[in-house]
């Protein structure tokens, strides 16, 4: 007689997808365990991604205020950076949140298993701990939440000094005098903002025709203009050639179009060219799980083709590699596993946020995507230069852009670049979730003075009654 499953749900990986799935599973009354290979819970986002990066961004913002204090009527005669104190604060924030995750797992009766997990047959998981000891656990349902790792260019390996990924750059012994960043996606743009404000000479190289290539084209153009105004060099359509370590740091060769190869010398190089799914060592080849370029294919309830096996987060094919997406996918998966009514995610209503300077927040279709989908598009735009709160903050770059369908006023997408864009985008997400129209936003009274007024004004522009421009 086969052994009865020990758990209702076992989650492999404790990142923002995994730990949320485990907590929700416990709340739904299922006997749950979570397997984690690292010492602490929280995954990439908490330890070497979202949280430490945003901590450094806040330090950079505060330092920027000191440098420009005279504008606010404050005379700062002496101030300087204490890099070790900055790193210590970052670590303190991370440690506190990691302990919080561990507390929530215990609170919701989630058992924890340490070690590296792989599938060992239907409903079976083999876990090998740090000492090489292996145990087998069984479950009715398994949730794969193993996340992703930074991609590197062929032949390159990070050394923690001259050649870095998002992990190593968070622990540099000192602020580099010069930094080359390969890749102008969210990671590259955020670290460019951090280290430029800390005093590094920063150059960003992007292979594609524009920075933040997943965003609306006007957002990309505004970011590039802002970076150049700030003094951050950005080169698009840059094909990377040789990347070599030198006695002084790093040498990066690149070519733009049909031009001659150019070489940049710098102390440090950050490679930020995307993420690769952690699926190679899960023994998926012995299952019915289907892969697409290493990513797992799932249905709307996050089920794979292997009965009882779900996948969430960065390993999922065609899913945005975002922490908040992983968390919601985890909830969808375990709700389905519990046999409860669930709702698949509408990926067109997922906010995308980049926390550099200026910030970017977006949701839904870009203008180009909307037109290519056959919509008769109506655009509403409003600049932060005309927003009172932005003037008070001394941050007047950027704009809000609303992409709507002309016939019914359906909100197809909202794109924001400027102060606190990553907060303001939440209103647009909610409006789309509730099937609101541009008229609904235009008739919503926005508090004055706030940055959110810019979204209301952009909606006014989309219905042809812009007030303040």
Checking phi first, is residue 257 left (phi over 0); if not, alpha (psi -120 to 50) or beta? left
Give the other-Cβ count within 10 Å of 365's Cβ: 22
Q: Radius of gyration over alpha carbons of the chain, in Å?
A: 24
Burial of 465 (0-12, 13-18, 19+ CB in 10 A): exposed
**C-alpha distance from residue 31 to each of 23, 307, 339 (Å):** 11, 19, 14
Q: Which of 336, 375, 443, 448 is catalytic?
A: 448
CB-based contacts of 333, cutoff 8 Å, min separation 6: 21, 143, 301, 302, 303, 310, 311, 312
Give the other-Cβ count within 10 Å of 116's Cβ: 18
Would you mind telling me the total number of residues written for the chain in this entry?
469
Instruction: Look at the block and give the residue holding tokens 């005379």.
Output: 75
Pairing mode, if any, of strands 352-354 and 359-364? antiparallel
**Which is nearest to 7 in space by CA: 145, 140, 143?**
140
Catalytic residue list contains 375 = no
What six digits make up the tokens of 236?
A: 């698009």
Checking phi first, is residue 325 left (phi over 0); if not, alpha (psi -120 to 50) or beta? alpha
- Write the DSSP symbol of residue 71: G
- Active centre residues (catalytic): 448
């Amino acid at each position: 007689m086969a052994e009865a499953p020990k758990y209702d749900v076992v989650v492999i990986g404790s990142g923002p997808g995994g730990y949320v799935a485990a907590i929700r599973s416990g709340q739904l009354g299922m006997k749950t365990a979570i397997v984690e290979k690292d010492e602490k819970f929280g995954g990439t986002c908490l330890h070497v991604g979202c949280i430490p990066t945003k901590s450094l961004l806040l330090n950079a913002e505060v330092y920027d205020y000191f440098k420009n204090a005279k504008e606010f009527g404050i005379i700062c005669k002496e101030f300087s950076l204490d890099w070790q104190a900055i790193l210590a604060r970052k670590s303190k924030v991370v440690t506190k949140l990691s302990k919080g995750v561990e507390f929530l797992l215990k609170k919701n009766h989630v058992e924890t298993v340490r070690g590296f997990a792989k599938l060992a047959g239907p409903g079976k998981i083999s876990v090998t701990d740090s000492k090489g000891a292996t145990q087998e656990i069984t479950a009715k349902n398994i949730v794969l939440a193993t996340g992703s790792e930074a991609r590197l260019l062929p032949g390159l390996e990070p050394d923690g000094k001259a050649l870095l990924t998002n992990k190593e750059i968070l622990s540099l012994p000192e602020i580099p005098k010069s930094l080359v960043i390969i890749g102008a996606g969210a990671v590259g743009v955020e670290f460019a903002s951090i280290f430029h404000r800390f005093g590094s000479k920063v150059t960003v190289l992007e292979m594609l025709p524009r920075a933040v290539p997943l965003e609306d084209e006007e957002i990309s153009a505004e970011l590039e203009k802002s970076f150049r105004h700030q003094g951050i060099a950005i080169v698009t359509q840059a094909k990377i050639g040789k990347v070599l370590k030198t006695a002084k740091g790093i040498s990066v060769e690149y070519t733009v179009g049909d031009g001659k190869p150019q070489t940049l010398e710098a102390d440090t190089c950050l490679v930020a060219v995307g993420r690769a799914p952690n699926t190679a060592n899960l023994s998926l080849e012995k299952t019915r799980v289907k892969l697409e370029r290493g990513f797992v294919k799932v249905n709307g309830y996050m089920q794979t083709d292997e009965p009882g096996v779900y996948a969430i987060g960065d390993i999922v094919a065609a899913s945005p590699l975002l922490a908040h997406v992983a968390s919601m996918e985890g909830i969808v998966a375990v709700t389905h596993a519990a046999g409860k009514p669930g709702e698949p995610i509408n990926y067109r209503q997922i906010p995308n946020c980049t926390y550099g300077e200026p910030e970017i927040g977006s949701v839904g279709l870009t203008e180009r995507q909307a037109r290519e989908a056959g919509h008769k598009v109506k655009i509403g735009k409003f600049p932060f230069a005309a927003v009172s709160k932005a003037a008070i903050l001394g941050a007047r770059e950027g704009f809000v852009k609303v992409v709507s369908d002309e016939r019914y006023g359906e909100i197809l997408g909202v794109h924001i670049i400027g102060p606190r864009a990553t907060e303001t985008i939440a209103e647009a997400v909610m409006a789309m979730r509730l099937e609101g129209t541009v008229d609904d936003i235009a008739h919503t009274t926005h508090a004055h003075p706030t940055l959110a007024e810019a979204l209301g004004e952009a909606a006014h522009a989309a219905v042809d009654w812009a007030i303040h421009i």
